[in-house]
Structure 1
Amino acid sequence: MANLNKLNLLMCGTGEYTTGWTRSGASKSDKKIGVVALTLFDLRRLGKVDKLGMVGVNGSKFPEIRAHLQHNIAQIYKDLDVSFDSFPGDTETDPEAYKVSIDKLNPGDAVVIFTPDNTHYAIARYAIEHGLHVLVTKPATQLLSHHLELIDLSRKHNVVCFVEHHKRYDPAYGDARVRARELGEFNFFNAWMSQPKSQLETFQAWAGKDSDISYYLSSHHIDICCWILQDKAVPTRVVASAASGIATSKPYNCIPGTEDTITLLVDWQSVKSLKHKGTAVYTASWTAPLKSGIHSAQHWYYLGEKGDINIDQAHRGYDVTVDDTGKTWYNPFYMKYSPSESGHFDGQRGYGYISIEKFVDAARNVNAGIAQPSDFDAQGLPTITNTVLTTAILNAGRISLDEKRPVGISKDGGKWILH
């Protein structure tokens, strides 16, 4: 049997999703102790991961982050080591610290990228060119041209490059996808996803400046729709519209032009029948009510030739009511934070965890010579190749908003283009 060596891994990004720590302190969302670092600490306990590093821009955050992880993870779960190497130093600020930390890795090591959307491409490119496997959070890139470049680079350097579309691992979404593909030709898809206005405080440094709510949230359901329609239909045109006025007002004071809610209307063409066309509406907002009992409202409706599917992932029949805070809907299918009977972390079946573990397993298998990165394209996993249409739609939506026009999507010489 091939030797599956442990994977050395660098976490790029120190924020809420990685550590549960934000610029205002511990997160108040459903990710109070993060996802990425916790998952990797547990994978290290289980023998899949070895050395861990974490890189950000401002090193002064690390003492607070370490204390947060020690108090909320190490002291809660049995046998969980929360140590990691950090970059830059605790008294340093360096926007290119990722280069210093990546330079210390060896080919075959891995990088996970959970940083602001506009930084994904530069970090992923630098890592891939150094022979590292890459997991980048959604959206992979903001520009289709950059996404295509990462596809080419990952093939050239023969490394795994996944996009962290964790909803592909949600058992309800996965089952719905199989059933949707049995409903004949595609006709209509409608998706809604929102987060409370408090997120505008968490993301104030980049909201409306470096990215928008469509890239940040609609990327989830656009990817699910593209996954369902893979080899069945292709997008041909995108028209975008947006609401505004809340994010740019007090107390959030985001920069002028920041949209509150963005809707993309997308035309789809069947690849097997010229007469069958479909439409999809993807809407995302970060101005939802503050005390609605859920952090992320998320539901979608699929209409096919032979039937329909309606799925609501925010309300799963599990709610808790507390005197002080009211009713809250919980989703342990994503990340289960309550310890096991033995006191260990017990969230290995959560789809937030599985998404990262799948990447770690893929990288280890390629390093051992028992798989090729291209093998995962055929498995329906969210590889950089399999997620190109998600980026195409998101990029087209941004152009449509900025230039106030429809944007076409088509193939030219085997590669997707916008026009």
Structure 2
Amino acid sequence: MDNKLNLLMCGTGEYTTGWTGSGASQSDKKIGVVALTLFDLRRLGKVDKLGMVGVNGSKYPAIRAHLRQNIEQVYKDLDVSFDSFPKETETDSEAYKTAIDKLHPGDAVVIFTPDSTHYAIARHAIERGLHVLVTKPATQLLSHHLDLVDLSRKHNVVCFVEHHKRYDPVYSDARARARTLGEFNFFNAWMSQPKSQLETFRAWAGKDSDISYYLSSHHIDICCWILQDKAVPTRVVASAATGIATSAPYNCVPETEDTITLLVDWQSITSPTHKGTAVYTASWTAPLRSGVHSAQHWYYMGEKGDVNIDQAHRGYDVTVDDTGKTWYNPFYMKYSPSESGHFDGQRGYGYISIEKFVDAARSVNAGTAQPSEFDAHGLPTIRNTVLTTAILNAGRISLDEKRPVGISKEGEKWILH
């Protein structure tokens, strides 16, 4: 295929650029993931024109300087230019509409913005015939997720959710092995990030979203992926710990939970007598110097065996006098240049997740594939990720209304009750 994809990045924050409200990110994404990947895909001839849209245009001079210093001057032949919206003198919460309206059917939009904005941006893009990659959680409401399923089918565009953990080679292999272990019995997942994330996310933490939507979405999706066509969730009960995020020095809004746990009942599709339970826990109040940015592990037990994964400690650690011991994850993004001085992270699952979307959109534009084909490939399409949103939405309702929430299917539609 020689048809290059024009693409708009929605969101200018840490995951896109490595730049946060307080300057360059101090996390494991110091130069971002999205923009860097797309700059490299442009170098490789898959992407053509790039744009970026945020709310506050005054950030762009600092962002451009950051990208030039840390990407353009580090890697050979990597152009970091892009069109930006809104203008540097403007602040506009609806600048995404102006930027999207300048695109043409068959172009693409990548959405890495606060959770509460995903649905509006994705809907605006899909209705204009644009392919969409939206970060997890796709939406906060099940009804919104189902609407995007219908819209993407109506407009015949690719719509993926950026569940990059599906491309982690360990998780992918574990999923294949777990599916051979017979009926599902138990799943337990833990994911956390240090309290410093409350500084990064203070603008929306507790106001627009919670730690379950932000972090548990990773492992809930992995569990749903393992159990696809094997079992379905039927009931969710949520519990939360509080008190750290709302206290000094973080001082988040009173509604902010520290740690959220969802207990989910699962029912086998093939055996009425087989039921399973899953526990998904996420926190953004982990210790500051634990040596990992994201603690992440899960355990799966089926009737014929189990799978146990610790993806925070991969047998690879580095100790430095000033900062102590750190466990690194080179499978996610490799930032060190190649022998020739070029960017060398094409095998990282953060990169692959975006490239898979670009390849899918290009193949549809070239007429060699239909968007619906990707549902059958085990990819995180908008249709294949409905139950992840159902569980997350049910968890939020359970916390807010202090009650269990049921999940069931009426005809072709999943509903909460």
Q: Same fold (TM over 0.5)?
A: yes
Which of 248, 251, 266 aligns to 2:249? It is 251
Other structure's SS at 1:53 match = strand
Other structure's SS at 1:402 match = helix
Gap regions ≥5 residues in structure 1? none
Other structure's SS at 2:258 match = strand
After superposition, the C-alpha distances for 1:183-240 in whole angstroms (9 at most, x for unaligned) are 0000000000000000000000000000000000000000000000000000000000
Q: TM-score, normalised by structure 2?
A: 1.00
After superposition, the C-alpha distances for 1:368-392 in whole angstroms (9 at most, x for unaligned) are 0000000000000000000000000
Other structure's SS at 1:371 match = coil
2:372 matched residue in structure 1? 374
1:40 matched residue in structure 2? 38
Matched residue type, 2:233? P
Matched residue type, 1:131? G
Other structure's SS at 2:161 match = strand
The root-mean-square deviation of aligned C-alpha atoms, in Å, is 0.4
1:89 matched residue in structure 2? 87
Matched residue type, 2:408? S
Which of 394, 397, 409 aligns to 1:396? It is 394
1:320 aligns with 2:318: yes
1:175 aligns with 2:173: yes
2:405 matched residue in structure 1? 407
Whole-angstrom distance in 2 between the partners of 1:111 and 1:9: 6
Q: CA deviation at 1:329?
A: 0.5
| Structure 1 residues 341-356: aligned runs within 5 Å | 341-356=339-354
Q: CA deviation at 1:4?
A: 3.6
Q: CA deviation at 1:257?
A: 1.7
Whole-angstrom distance in 2 between the partners of 1:80 and 1:290: 34
| Structure 1 residues 221-236: aligned runs within 5 Å | 221-236=219-234
Matched residue type, 1:30? D
Whole-angstrom distance in 2 between the partners of 1:250 and 1:202: 15
Matched residue type, 2:52? M
After superposition, the C-alpha distances for 1:226-256 in whole angstroms (9 at most, x for unaligned) are 0000000000000000000000000000000
Q: CA deviation at 1:169?
A: 0.3
1:213 matched residue in structure 2? 211
Q: How many pairs does the alignment contain?
A: 417
| Structure 1 residues 284-295: aligned runs within 5 Å | 284-295=282-293
1:106 matched residue in structure 2? 104
Whole-angstrom distance in 2 between the partners of 1:312 and 1:99: 41
Whole-angstrom distance in 1 between the partners of 2:250 and 2:143: 33
Matched residue type, 1:188? F
Whole-angstrom distance in 1 between the partners of 2:86 and 2:296: 37
Matched residue type, 2:187? F
After superposition, the C-alpha distances for 1:265-322 in whole angstroms (9 at most, x for unaligned) are 0000000000000000000000000000100000000000000010010101110000
Matched residue type, 1:262? I
Which of 67, 70, 75 aligns to 1:69? It is 67
After superposition, the C-alpha distances for 1:69-127 in whole angstroms (9 at most, x for unaligned) are 00000000000000000000011000000000001000000000000000000000000
Matched residue type, 1:365? S
Matched residue type, 1:333? F
Aligned-residue identity in percent: 89
Matched residue type, 1:210? D
Matched residue type, 1:281? V
Whole-angstrom distance in 2 between the partners of 1:330 and 1:50: 32
2:197 matched residue in structure 1? 199
Q: Is the 8 A contact 1:218 1:282 kept in 2?
A: yes
Q: Is the 8 A contact 1:183 1:308 kept in 2?
A: yes
Whole-angstrom distance in 2 between the partners of 1:390 and 1:381: 14
Matched residue type, 1:177? R
Whole-angstrom distance in 2 between the partners of 1:413 and 1:374: 20
Other structure's SS at 1:11 match = strand
Matched residue type, 1:378? A
1:365 matched residue in structure 2? 363
Other structure's SS at 2:217 match = helix
1:340 aligns with 2:338: yes
1:303 matched residue in structure 2? 301
Where do 4+ consecutive residues of structure 1 move more than 3 Å?
Answer: none
After superposition, the C-alpha distances for 1:143-188 in whole angstroms (9 at most, x for unaligned) are 0000000000000000000000000000000000000000000000
Q: TM-score, normalised by structure 1?
A: 0.99
Q: Is the 8 A contact 1:4 1:365 kept in 2?
A: no
Whole-angstrom distance in 1 between the partners of 2:91 and 2:140: 25
| Structure 1 residues 126-165: aligned runs within 5 Å | 126-165=124-163
Matched residue type, 2:33? V
Which of 30, 47, 50 aligns to 2:48? It is 50
After superposition, the C-alpha distances for 1:27-47 in whole angstroms (9 at most, x for unaligned) are 000000000000000000000
Matched residue type, 2:42? R
Matched residue type, 2:149? I
